[in-house]
């Protein structure tokens, strides 16, 4: 961090632990809730968590209106449908329960409820001028970090663009993180979420806006991810799932304040055009993006290499490469796609994907300057 650089660091109040969700009603009351809009989705419903949360609120005589019209890549129209419910029902606090999709949708509903207009009006950084209703997030995956962050990612369907909306006022008031909720997730979702958290940690650690307030969160997340992923995936070990929750939370604290990079630009662009599960883009693209960025951040890439391999190395360059190779091997053991050709129809689509990715807000904080041609060669390497 240069000496004349002002850095900002903001996170929600965190309540963490197995069973922590039982504090929801008192947290909502503390924010002045009388009638809550509960935002979630079918997957979370099927696991029984929506009913449990409704019961918790009812026990405390809090009224609750439920909204669940959400895709895994939430759409602009779904945000606006949610706002109509929020306003028509006279809600005063938003509780978002789920992975990144319900939480990002909850944030979108809050933006329009507090500021009016169309969700696309707020695309980019710092476009939200008026306060949002109080919001509590309760993540059921360990990955998106949306419960920690000033980001909301909403798909503009007509333009086929995943919009990044970034504002301090999108940091929820409170995040209640209860790792027991991870126990009902499919293996695929645990992997996709955890790899997303890893990607947040790596990209924010080398970001142009990284600071002493974000770096140690990023490194903690990388270490916990490497130490716990396999046990969490293969055995659903509760202790390992708890550690992945901590990793995801730490990664969220880091990337919300430090920003991301070219990997997320590409993932957003690709996710806007093809409805792929966001986290599954990272095992394919992360190593190629890291190799591209390496010349601009050798020391930090070496630190990542030392943490992931658990070994010292004779110099920074070999530590950095060893780390990238370690992650590549780890992704191969996960039984997920590791080549773009497995998820995209043909190489012709790469050019429009990259053309759009250059303009994503995440491109600005990538440690190395990046052009459309650079992104295309990264994609070709990962094809």
Q: Contact positions toward its own copies, by CB under 8 A?
A: 3-11, 13-20, 23, 168, 211-213, 216-217, 220, 238-239, 242, 246, 249-250
Using CA atoms, how far apart are residues 132 and 151, in angstroms rounded to an integer? 14
User: What is the smallest separation between the CB atom of 235 and its own copies, expressed in angstroms?
Assistant: 15
Which CB, 239 or 341, lies closer to its own copies? 239
The DSSP secondary structure of 312-348, one letter per residue, reads --SSHHHHHHHHHHHHHHHHHHTTS--SGGGTSS-GG
Smaller CB separation from its own copies, 217 or 300: 217
DSSP state of 210: -
Whole-angstrom distance, CA of residue 184 vs CA of residue 197: 19
The nearest distance, CB 34 to its own copies, in angstroms, is: 17
Query: Which is nearer to its own copies, 146 or 220 (by Cβ)?
Result: 220
Question: Side by side, which strands form the sheet with 151-156?
Answer: 124-125, 161-166, 151-156
Q: List, as own/partner pairs, every contact residues 370-374 make where C-beta atoms lie below 8 angstroms and the sequence separation is at least 24, other chains included.
A: 370/262, 370/265, 370/292, 374/262, 374/292
Q: Shortest gap between Cβ of 267 and its own copies (angstroms)?
A: 27
Q: Give 98's strand partners.
A: 139
> At 40, is the secondary structure helix, strand, or coil?
coil
Closer CB to its own copies, residue 23 or residue 200? 23
> Minimum distance from CB of 4 to its own copies (Å)?
5
**Per-residue DSSP letter, 133:** P
Q: For the CB of residue 213, give the shortest distance to its own copies in the complex, in Å.
A: 6
CB 344 → its own copies: shortest distance, Å? 38
Task: CB nearer to its own copies: give 187 or 211.
Answer: 211
| Residue keyed to tokens 């019209």 | 69
Report, in Å, the least distance between residue 209 CB and its own copies: 12
Q: How far apart are CA 29 and CA 22, in angstroms?
A: 13
Choose between 15 and 95: whose C-beta lies nearer to its own copies.
15
Task: Please identify, using beta-carbon distances, which residue of 194 and 378 lies nearer to its own copies.
Answer: 194
Report the nearest approach of its own copies to the CB of residue 231 (Å).
Answer: 15
Angle at CA 82, nearest 5°, toward 141 and 19? 30
CA distance 84 to 113: 9
Structure tokens at 55: 């019961």
Least distance in angstroms from the C-beta of 240 to its own copies: 12
Q: What is the CA radius of gyration of the chain?
A: 20
In angstroms, give the least distance from the CB of 322 to its own copies.
Answer: 22
Strands 135-139 and 174-177: parallel
In whole angstroms, what is the distance from residue 90 CA to residue 28 CA? 16
With left for phi above 0 and alpha for psi between -120 and 50, is residue 26 left, alpha or beta?
Answer: alpha
Nearer to its own copies, 168 or 380 (CB): 168
For the purposes of burial, counting CB atoms within 10 Å of the CB of 156, is it exposed (0-12), middle (13-18) or buried (19 or more)?
Answer: middle
For residue 66, give Cα distances in angstroms to 89, 140, 261, 319: 10, 17, 35, 50
């Amino acid at each position: 961090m240069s000496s004349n650089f002002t850095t900002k660091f903001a996170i929600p109040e965190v309540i963490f632990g197995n069973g922590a969700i039982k504090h929801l009603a008192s947290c909502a009351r503390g924010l002045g809730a009388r009638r809550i809009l509960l935002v979630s989705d079918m997957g979370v419903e099927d696991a029984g968590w929506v009913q449990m949360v409704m019961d918790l609120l009812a026990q405390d005589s809090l009224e609750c209106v439920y909204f669940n019209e959400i895709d895994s890549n939430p759409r602009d129209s779904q945000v606006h449908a949610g706002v109509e419910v929020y306003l028509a029902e006279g809600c005063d606090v938003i509780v978002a329960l789920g992975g990144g999709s319900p939480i990002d949708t909850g944030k979108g509903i809050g933006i329009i409820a507090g500021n009016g207009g169309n969700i696309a009006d707020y695309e980019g950084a710092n476009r939200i001028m008026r306060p949002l209703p109080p919001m509590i997030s309760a993540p059921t995956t360990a990955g998106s970090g949306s419960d920690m962050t000033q980001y909301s990612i909403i798909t503009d369907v007509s333009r086929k663009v995943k919009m990044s909306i970034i504002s301090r006022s999108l940091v929820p008031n409170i995040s209640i993180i209860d790792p027991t909720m991870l126990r009902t997730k499919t293996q695929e979702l645990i992997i996709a979420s955890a790899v997303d958290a890893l990607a947040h940690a790596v990209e924010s650690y080398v970001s142009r806006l990284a600071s002493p307030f974000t770096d140690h969160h990023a490194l903690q997340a990388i270490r916990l991810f490497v130490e716990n992923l396999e046990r969490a995936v293969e055995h659903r070990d509760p202790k390992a799932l708890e550690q992945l929750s901590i990793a995801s939370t730490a990664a969220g604290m880091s990337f919300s304040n430090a920003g991301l990079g070219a990997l997320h630009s590409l993932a957003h662009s690709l996710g806007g055009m093809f409805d792929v599960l966001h986290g599954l883009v990272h095992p394919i693209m992360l190593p190629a993006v890291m190799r591209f960025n390496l010349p601009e951040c050798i020391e930090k890439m070496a630190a990542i290499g030392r943490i992931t391999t658990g070994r010292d190395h004779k110099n920074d360059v070999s530590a950095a490469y060893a780390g990238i190779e370690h992650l590549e091997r780890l992704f191969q053991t996960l039984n997920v796609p590791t080549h773009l050709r497995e998820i995209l129809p043909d190489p012709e689509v790469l050019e429009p994907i990259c053309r759009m990715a250059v303009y994503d807000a995440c491109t600005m904080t990538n440690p190395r300057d990046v052009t459309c041609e650079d992104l295309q060669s990264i994609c070709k390497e990962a094809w």
